[in-house]
Structures are given as structure tokens and as C-alpha cells.
Structure 1
């Protein structure tokens, strides 16, 4: 796979930035780096990287503001937020400022590299076409969108991940633990109530009647099952 991909790392912790830059260069990526939000906005507009790894907490301008600003300027590359707390992911969704995905710190370098590999495949068009159809709906995971009878329904990053996991594992009972690991990551400090809250929100988007779910059903004492029909 050609690695003609430019990645910008925006991280104010010099040690972490050095480690990430070093590893990604070894993986064959073109790598740029910045240590604060103001410089990041400038570099993104001049260099137009394919992927931005953007820290949530930054001097100069916070990650969310950087993200929002470059999106307004028309930047269409992938922006992956790096956040120290899994709870911040909820805020990432709440801001709706245009992040493509996120990774929680401390992350394992292999996990980060694997995530980037899958993003690069998407950038190179290999799996842009992943579409799941169920009932009167179509899920396009790469653009975080659900179409119901052709009408567009936006999904948050987390709803997108949850739905995709169910669609890839249809008719299987999925434990809450497995789902949380898949959606929030291996060092997650999220509790089951947070997960359940996202399930409730997702049901409102996919069920004909969210109070009597036919697709995304609770399996008492275990977790959930997605009825693919």
C-alpha cells in the first residue's frame, strides 16, 4: 500500500509528540508536527495534511476550536482527536465541530498505527463503499450517516461506532463489556450507564418505536442483540 499520506501531529507534550512522530515516520508516513493550536491552524491551511492527530487540550487554541476553525475554512481531511479521558468523547460529540474520530490517551502505539492504517485504506478508496442495509435504512459508516427512506440522519462518532459494531455482528448477543471495549477503547473509564444512554439515543434514530425496540434489543443481564432480520 502506498504511504504517500501526510499526517500532522498536534501535541504539546514533547515526549509523546516525539514518540508518535518517530513511529509514524518509521511506518512510512510523511509527518509534520506542531505544539500549539494557533500554529496548527496555520499549518493545516498551508500544508493540507491528509490526517490531523489533534490533542484535545492545547495552548493557544483548544483542539475543538482548531477543528471548528479549519472546518469552516473548508479543510476536508480526517481529524482524529486525542483525548486523555474517555468522558471527553461525549463532549466531542456535543460540540459537533467536525472531528472524524478519536483515540484516548494513553494509547498503545500499535493500536494507533492500526487505526491509521484503516483510515488510510478509506482515504485510498479501498473501503469507502462499506454500506449496511437493514429494514428501510442504509448505514454509511465512513460518513457517519444513516439514510432512512432516503432521508439523511446524522450520527455522532459514538453512535456510528456502536451501530457499525452491531451491523458487523448481526443476531449475536454482545455483552456490554465487549461493546464498551470496542467503542471506547481498551483503557476506557466509561461506565455502563453511559453506554446505555448512547443506546437509547441510537434507538431513537433507528427504531420505529424506541420504547418497543425491534432492531436493537436488550438481553437482560448480558447486553444487547441486533436483529438483522
Structure 2
């Protein structure tokens, strides 16, 4: 495994942090540690790790705030949120902060390592993965990445699924229910406002003028349509 790969581990439980760090270092990763949100944010922006393992509940700034903040400052790498089973944070809510994925505590170390290995592999081999080109952009669904004029923009899991579905069904009117079923994968009690909010965020990433979208157009009373040649 590539020794250059840096993982920022943000966890206030000292024992768990020690165990996870020890295991990741054993796997050949370079591990940076922080035990609270403020330190974490500073460390992440200075060190620019490849992956952030971020606890949801932290002293000082919460994990969600840290994630929103680093995303706003342009951090576009993977952020994996660690959530406790008991809290079982609304997973959909977690994605609104720009989380790439999540793992539920207590987790099995092998599962965590496999998940990280897999993500790294995809990131390093993304030229082999499927990609979709439109306008000045290229979408790599496997890595949740959008290249815009060659610049990398990270998509959350849900933005990724939404964009992929539109790209596979370009120039077709998609109603909201169909899109919600596709993206959340079951009859979730997701309200259309949640979906619309993800659309707004996605537009900010792909449109030149998000208020007057060229690609991801609203079809009044029905849903959306992704328009491009």
C-alpha cells in the first residue's frame, strides 16, 4: 500500500483513536490525529490528507460543522463519517454536509480497512472506471468526482447518484418520485424539499449560473430534465 497516503483520524475517544491509528499504520497509511473539531479543521486544511475519518460527535465543533467548513474552504477529498449506532444520525442528513460515506460504530477494523483500501484503489485507478463527459465536465461515479475544466470537484454520495441518473437519462423528463426512488433506493420518507436541496447543491457544482440552470433544468410540476447534446 502506498506509504504516501495520509489519513486524518478525528476521534475524541482516546482508546478507539489509538486502535484505529495503530491498525491503519500497520496497513501502511500515514495517520494524522486530532481529538476535537477545531484542531481537526486546522490540521486537515494544513495537511490536506487523502481521506478524513471523522467522528460525528466531537467536543468543540461537531463533525458535521467540520465537514461543512472544510468543504467550503475547498477540501475535496474523501470524508468518511463515523457515527455511533445509538445516535444513528439520519444518514441523509449526513450527506448534506458533504460527507462521502459513513461507517457505523462499533465497526469491525477489517471492514474499515477494506472500505478505505477500496476507496483508495478507486481513487488511484479512476482512469479505468466509467466516466461521462458533458460540456467542460467529466463525471467519474466510482470516485464521486466531477472534473470541471480539469479541476476536481468532490460530490457527496447522493449528488453522485443524482448526477449519474441524469447522465444516463439525458434529455428525458424525470419526475421527482422516480428520482427519489432511484437515489434513496427505497420508499423513504424523504420529502421533495430534501431532494430539491440536493439539486440546488449539485447545480452550484455544475452550472455557470445556478439560478438559471443550463443543464439541470426544472420541469414545473413534474420534476427535472438534464439537457445537453
Corresponding residue number in structure 1 for 2:58: 58
Is the 1:83–1:89 contact (alpha carbons within 8 Å) kept by the matching residues of 2? no
The TM-score normalised by the length of structure 1 is 0.60
Q: Deviations over 1:5-58 (max 9, x none)?
A: 011100111111111001001111111111100000111122221111011111
Describe the shift of the 1:62–1:130 C-alpha distance in structure 2 as closer, same or farther (beyond 3 A).
Answer: same
Deviation at 1:161, TM superposition (A): 6.9
The TM-score normalised by the length of structure 2 is 0.60
Corresponding residue number in structure 2 for 1:131: 130
Corresponding residue number in structure 1 for 2:117: 117
Pairing 1:1-229 to 2, within 5 Å after superposition: 1-84=1-84, 85-94=87-96, 96=97, 98-124=98-124, 126-131=125-130, 140-141=140-141, 142-143=143-144, 157-158=157-158, 160=160, 193-194=187-188
Deviation at 1:81, TM superposition (A): 1.0
Is the 2:95–2:156 contact (alpha carbons within 8 Å) kept by the matching residues of 1? yes
Describe the shift of the 1:72–1:144 C-alpha distance in structure 2 as closer, same or farther (beyond 3 A).
Answer: same
Q: Distance in 2 between matches of 1:87 and 1:35?
A: 20
Deviation at 1:122, TM superposition (A): 2.6
Q: Distance in 2 between matches of 1:161 and 1:45?
A: 27
**Corresponding residue pairs, total:** 183
Describe the shift of the 1:77–1:159 C-alpha distance in structure 2 as closer, same or farther (beyond 3 A).
Answer: closer
Is the 2:24–2:113 contact (alpha carbons within 8 Å) kept by the matching residues of 1? yes
Q: SS of the residue aligned with 1:70? A: helix
CA RMSD of aligned residues (A): 4.4
Q: SS of the residue aligned with 1:16? A: helix
